């Protein structure tokens, strides 16, 4: 697909030298909805990509082309504003706006962008776009910014320009993931380490519900508000910054509203599950890790309430087979993808059987992609 984006760039903007940036998707193995509460997460870079082609212009025009949407958008470096009609452009413009705030002199640019990360799948295509633009600008400007600063900048673009209250995991893993490793990230301190994935005869499969995630951003922002409410209440009793700092969440059962307590309980327990998962992976205990995946999904379904009928169907189906070790929603939820850990040889049968039953239940076939952990944008492009 990279060649298609490069060809489109030449067709839209003409021949001549340009830069191509490769940025992976991400899947979170475990640790969902806790990055914005300073928790531990365990993502991987995934071999689905955003490809961004770009170069500097001599004038102050910013000309954008989306391959996937087949849309053009044009503005100038002096008029970088939120676009209601061109939502895809905001992930690009937001990053450029952040560089501008930091005092960098923005040149005119022409950029073509596209990829094979399914939009709305929960694989963080938006963060991949943000990171790709941050890398592209560094290349065009001939600068190299510290990785943590690039990650923070890309996150600010989504928080402040696009208006989604995401944590830092997506941008972090997309930039710094490593082939054949998971990345254990402490979202409070930003300390991280790589955890080798010794998968043996097992693989991760992403199953795409193909469900429109139209409510995901509103539900996501509501969950963020709910856990912030829990933090503010608990601060009266404990010196904490995040729910993951709480010594024992169970002691606050009667002090928090019922729904708020459920959200807080998920975050507390999920944080511990991530650390248990790392221990399982380091021991090569695939069964133990798979069981923690199932527990994570149940918590996201019952306590955090961000699952949906389609995701629950896939997880329930997975539990019928000893060849499947674990399954859980990955991403924000309310649709998107389910991550399944299973024996490699069982994948064709699993996909075939699931597709038939899913079609009967929901009137459409799910997508299915077996995935490889790949290098992040830093290692792909520098």
Q: Which residues are catalytic?
A: 170
Nearest Cα neighbor of 170 from 49, 377, 337, 25 is 25
Pick from 104, 116, 73, 78: which is nearest to 91 by CA? Answer: 73
b/e per residue, 142-157, with b = 16+ CB within 10 A? eeebeeeebbbbbbbb
- Cβ within 8 Å of residue 116, ≥6 positions away: 1, 48, 49
CA distance 190 to 175: 13
The partner residues of 49 in beta bridges, in order of sequence, read 24
What is the rounded distance in angstroms from the CA atom of residue 281 to the CA atom of residue 289? Answer: 7
Q: Reduced to 3 states, what is the DSSP secondary structure of residue 147?
A: helix
Q: For the chain, where are the E strands, in sequence order?
A: 19-28, 40-41, 43-57, 61-66, 71-76, 108-115, 181-186, 192-196, 202-208, 324-330, 337-343, 367-371, 373-374
Strands 61-66 and 108-115: parallel
Give me 149's structure tokens.
Answer: 């600063």
111-130 burial by CB neighbour count: b if 16+ within 10 A, else e? bbbbbbbbebbbbbbbbbbb
Query: What are the structure tokens assigned to 257, written together?
Result: 């509203």
Tokens of 218: 């509103």
Residues 6 or more apart whose Cβ sits within 8 Å of residue 266: 33, 299, 300, 303, 304
* Rounded CA separation 251/197 (Å): 36
DSSP letters spanning 238-273: S--SSGGG-S-GGGGTTTS-HHHHHHHHHHHHHHHH
């Amino acid at each position: 697909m990279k060649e298609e984006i490069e060809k489109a760039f030449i067709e839209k903007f003409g021949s001549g030298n340009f830069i191509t940036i490769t940025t992976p998707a991400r899947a979170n193995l475990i640790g969902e909805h806790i990055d914005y509460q300073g928790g531990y997460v365990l993502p991987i870079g995934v071999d689905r990509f955003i490809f961004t082609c770009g170069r500097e212009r001599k004038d102050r025009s910013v000309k954008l082309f989306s391959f996937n949407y087949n849309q053009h958008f044009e503005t100038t470096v002096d008029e970088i504003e939120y676009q209601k009609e061109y939502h895809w452009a905001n992930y690009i413009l937001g990053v450029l706006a952040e560089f501008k705030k930091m005092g960098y002199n923005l040149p005119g640019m022409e950029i073509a962008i596209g990829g094979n990360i399914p939009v709305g799948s929960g694989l963080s295509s938006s963060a991949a776009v943000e990171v790709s633009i941050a890398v592209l600008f560094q290349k065009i400007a001939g600068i190299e910014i510290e990785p943590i600063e690039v990650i923070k900048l890309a996150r600010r673009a989504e928080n402040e320009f696009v208006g989604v209250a995401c944590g830092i995991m997506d941008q972090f893993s997309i930039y710094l993931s490593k082939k054949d490793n998971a990345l254990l990230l402490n979202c409070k301190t930003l300390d991280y380490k790589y955890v080798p994935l010794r998968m043996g005869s097992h693989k991760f499969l992403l199953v795409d519900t193909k469900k429109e995630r139209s409510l995901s951003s509103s539900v996501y922002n509501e969950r963020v508000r709910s856990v912030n409410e829990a933090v503010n209440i608990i601060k009266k009793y404990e010196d904490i910054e995040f729910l993951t700092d709480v010594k024992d969440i169970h002691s606050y059962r009667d002090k928090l509203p019922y729904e708020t307590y459920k959200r807080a309980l998920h975050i507390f327990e999920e944080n511990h599950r991530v650390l248990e998962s790392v221990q399982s992976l380091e021991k090569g205990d695939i069964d133990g890790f798979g069981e923690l995946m199932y527990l994570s999904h149940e918590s996201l379904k019952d306590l955090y309430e961000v699952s949906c009928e389609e995701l629950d169907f896939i997880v329930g189906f997975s539990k019928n087979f000893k060849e499947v070790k674990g399954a859980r929603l990955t991403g924000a939820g309310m649709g998107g993808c389910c991550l399944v850990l299973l024996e490699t040889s069982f994948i064709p049968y699993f996909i075939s059987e699931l597709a038939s039953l899913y079609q009967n239940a929901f009137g459409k076939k799910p997508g299915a992609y077996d995935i490889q952990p790949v290098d992040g944008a830093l290692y792909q492009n520098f």
